[in-house]
Amino acid sequence: MTAPLDDAETARWTAWKRANEAVDAAVAREIHSASGLSVPDFSILSRLIENGGGRMPQHELGLLLDWQRARLSRQLSRMAERALVSRADSPGGRRVVLATDTGRSALAAARTAHARAVREALLAHAGADRETFWAAVDAIAEAVPGPRQNE
């Protein structure tokens, strides 16, 4: 049986969670402030435009995001109501998601805010031993199965 975390391990785990939450919140605030996009909006538009040139089968988009079909469908419906994306049937019967001009403009504004927030909330705090820190982060990320996120 595995022993519970000791006090030092618990403190590191708590610090990791707080740091992750702080960075995520800072990035979400900046993206929303600059573009009106939520993090899920940003995730969808990023994949759609950067991986699909602005057009992608809905099923493929779901795989890239590692989202359940219902979650993706609900989010796309909300985004379509705001004219960020549209959906159409393809000749093969599959739904295709298209980035609109509004969605492309919003993503362009969000990209700048995203970069600024990542630099300020995360990269600026990596410290003097940043190579060791980033090697550990990379090792953790490589051990995670599933699609690679590019946000």
pLDDT digits (tens, 9 = 90+) for 77-120: 999 999 999 999 988 888 999 999 999 999 999 999 999 999 99
The tokens of 72 are what? 């993706």
Domain CATH code at residue 97: 1.10.10.10
The tokens of 69 are what? 């079909």
Residue 150, pLDDT above cutoff 60: no
Assess if residue 118 is contained within a domain: yes
Q: What is the pLDDT of residue 141?
A: 84
The tokens of 145 are what? 């199965």
Q: Are 103 and 44 in contact (CB under 8 A)?
A: no
The tokens of 117 are what? 């927030």
Reported confidence tier of residue 149, pLDDT bands at 50, 70, 90:
low
Q: What is the CA radius of gyration of the chain?
A: 18
- Helix, strand or coil, per DSSP, at residue 68: coil
Q: What is the pLDDT of residue 127?
A: 74
List the 55-57 sheet strands across, edge first: 55-57, 95-99, 85-89
Assess if residue 67 is contained within a domain: yes
Q: What does the DSSP 8-state code read for residue 110?
A: H
Question: pTM of the prediction?
Answer: 0.85
Assess if residue 7 is contained within a domain: no
Assess if residue 84 is contained within a domain: yes
Assess if residue 26 is contained within a domain: no
Which residue type occupies 114?
H
Q: What is the pLDDT of residue 145?
A: 75
Assess if residue 13 is contained within a domain: no
- pLDDT tens digits, residue range 49-78? 999 999 999 999 999 999 999 999 999 999
Assess if residue 82 is contained within a domain: yes
- Helix, strand or coil, per DSSP, at residue 103: helix
Q: Give the domain extent around 88.
A: 36-123
**Other beta carbons less than 10 A from residue 66's beta carbon:** 11
Q: How many domains does the chain have?
A: 1
